[in-house]
Amino acid sequence: MNFDKFFSGYELEAWKLLGAHKKDGGVEFAVWAPHASAVELMTSRDWEKTIPLSKIDERGIWYVFVENMECIYSYRYRIHNGKKVYEKSDPYAYYFERRPSNASCMYDLDYFSFSDDIYMSKRKVDYDAPMNIYEVHLNGFKKEGEFATYRELKETLIPYVKKNGFTHIELLPVFEHPFDGSWGYQASGFFAATSRYGTPYDLMDLINECHNNDIGVILDAVYVHFVTDEWSLKKFDGSYCYERNANKSEWDTYYFDFSKPEVISFVMSSANFFLKRYHADGLRFDAVSHFVYKDGNSDKGNNVDGINFLKRMNFHLKKENPDIYLIAEDSTAFEGVTKPVEYGGLGFDYKWDLGWMNDTLKYYEMDPVYRSYHHHQITFSMAYFYSERFLLPFSHDEVVHSKRTIIDKMWGSYEDKFKQVRNLYVYMFTHPGKKLNFMGNEIAMFREFDEKEEMDWFMLKYPAHDSFARLFRDLSLTYKAHPCLYKGDYNGNYYRWIDADNTSQSIYSYYRYDNDECLVTILNMTPCEYRNYRIGVPFAGIYEEMINSEKDIYGGVNMCNYKPIKSVRRKAHGLDQSIRITIAPFAAIVFRVDLKKYATHNINDVKTLEAHI
């Protein structure tokens, strides 16, 4: 075994060198413990009998081959540092005993066979493809007992995701973790799928079945920090082996030390492991702010080690897996997050637009009387949108810790909340950028997320929730069916404001288009209604109402535009053509015009198309 790449910080497959592996006639064990004076193996075959490991590399690799052993036992390492002794789980274990137990388990991954060859052969990174992500906590969707299982979720989650038009699921961290309430964000096993929900094969089977239903799977990855439990990575060999120092993070965890090549190899290999062995379609990296700034605080300056680590990891992960997505959860204004590493960026494919999320939700929480004074909280996102490849998230972070759920953040009475949450989601699905919603958002749950409870499915018995769920599903399916809602997401030529400055009425209007069609969106942010409202439109043609959040089937007042509307040559909002429409209180409306009837050749920009018509 050659450990040179591991010790230089460029190893992407460290799990093949370290951990427990079945070999002919037994099992071999290898562990990195550079400051250990001795290392012993303990197994459930006989916990009292220890087996000494030999130091096979002076840089700190300890090894033993145990004959006549099968991969059916739990094990730990007993690590000696002088007179002190530490009992530790294996950092490279594929599987752990179910919490509250914490011993590592021998596990052979080679017996599972994926059947997703067709899906994998077509998989690629395409920024012009639809991406509508359903963020899921595995124990909070549907379950029969204390914990859901990967096998149960294969039967319930996949049909639900397909029915509701999602293109991907994103699983909250599946890394092994001791505390349920951390939701996996405080991990102890970085190569182990948590045993709460089943075996590694069960998770592989879930992902395999998702792929066979054309559903991508993104995994949350938490590589900033790890748990402080004594049996885990903390002072693994009696020294600060994996951690930066004794100082804890804001989450009462230890920061990884990315100045150490061995730690870099460990974390890069973990990421590559889930991409390679589990066929994950992408990773969403948590708390990127802590990689780029010291303690996540820009006032403390750049975290040079963290930045260099991200660049190295993302560059090599993409080189090794060019068809996967890397997504940053980043609340900072750090530049170049989605810029390629070769050009000085961090190398992510997408960045969560947390600015858009915060501004938008604050606006919808506001009494409509005051919205005219904060009008540009809605328009501001488009002022910076093309600086990165942004993804629009309404994630789990927004529906926990007394923040209230998405619908409960809306201003006003029960009825007002539903009117506005319908408006909000039309806005979200017509705004440029890929989409993400946490489970429960799509049925307008009022209860905040609790990892011990499944979703409040009973709410669908109530007409308001069932009607909203129908609107959400229709928006998702409309999004997938109309390429102008996702193609050109990151090309400013395909989005235009019609009216961004109507502060007196708090009405916004904009359009998106491609060669085939143009979709015009109007958002009414007040309880005022308008009849014969004139709005400028970019193209001459017949405009048909495609979506109206106030249709009765969605729980609205049915004040709609049922007949097609022919544009007239009359200026409005700086455009030569216009139409007159009806707008209900708090309505969000999408009109469609078929450009194929008016344009017979490929169109590259708005001005050319307008001139042609």
Mean pLDDT, the chain, integer: 95
Gap between the Cα atoms of 80 and 612, Å rounded: 79
Averaged pLDDT, 589-606: 68
Prior bond of 483 cis (ω within 30°): no
Establish whether domains 133-485 and 494-612 are of one fold.
Answer: no
Active site residue ranges: 286, 329
pLDDT score at 204: 97
CATH class name, domain 4-111? mainly beta
pLDDT score at 95: 97
Q: CATH number for the 133-485 domain, one of 3.20.20.80, 3.40.50.300, 3.50.50.60, 3.90.1150.200?
A: 3.20.20.80
Question: pLDDT tens-digit profile of 4-24?
Answer: 999 999 999 999 999 999 999
Q: Is the separation of the CB atoms in 514 and 128 below 8 Å? A: no
Q: Which two tokens stand for residue 494?
A: 């395909």
Q: Is the separation of the CB atoms in 506 and 372 below 8 Å? A: yes
**604 has a pLDDT exceeding 50:** no
pLDDT score at 596: 87
Domain segments of the chain: what residues?
4-111, 133-485, 494-612
**449 has a pLDDT exceeding 60:** yes
Averaged pLDDT, 116-127: 97
Smallest Cα–Cα separation from 92: which of 15, 195, 176? 15
Per cent of the chain over pLDDT 90 is 95
State the pLDDT confidence band at 602, using cuts at 50, 70 and 90: very low
The residue written with tokens 């949108």 in the block is: 385
Smallest Cα–Cα separation from 417: which of 454, 465, 373? 465
**606 has a pLDDT exceeding 60:** no
574, amino acid identity: G
Averaged pLDDT, 498-511: 97
Question: pLDDT tens-digit profile of 135-189?
Answer: 999 999 998 888 999 999 999 999 999 999 999 999 999 999 999 999 999 999 9
Q: Is the separation of the CB atoms in 262 and 185 below 8 Å? A: no
Least confident window among 396-400, 401-405, 521-525, 599-603: 599-603
**88 has a pLDDT exceeding 60:** yes
Q: Which two tokens stand for residue 410?
A: 């809306």
Kindly state the helix (H) or strand (E) to which residue 192 belongs, with its residue range.
Answer: strand 189-193
pLDDT score at 143: 87
Cα dihedral 302, 304, 306, 310 sign: positive
pLDDT score at 612: 42
Would strands 254-256 and 74-81 be described as parallel, antiparallel, or unpaired? unpaired
Report how far apart, in Å, the C-alpha atoms of 359 and of each of 153, 388, 392, 496, 606 are. Answer: 34, 17, 12, 20, 29
Question: pLDDT tens-digit profile of 366-377?
Answer: 999 999 999 999
pLDDT score at 146: 87
pLDDT score at 598: 62
Is domain 494-612 annotated with CATH 3.90.120.10? no
Q: Which two tokens stand for residue 141?
A: 């969707």
Report how far apart, in Å, the C-alpha atoms of 530 and of each of 384, 444, 533 are. Answer: 31, 27, 6
Report how far apart, in Å, the C-alpha atoms of 46 and of each of 69, 105, 186, 300, 318 are. Answer: 12, 14, 31, 51, 44
CB atoms within 10 A of CB 68: 7
pLDDT score at 239: 95
Q: Is the separation of the CB atoms in 448 and 400 below 8 Å? A: yes
pLDDT score at 3: 96
State the pLDDT confidence band at 605, using cuts at 50, 70 and 90: very low
pLDDT score at 145: 84
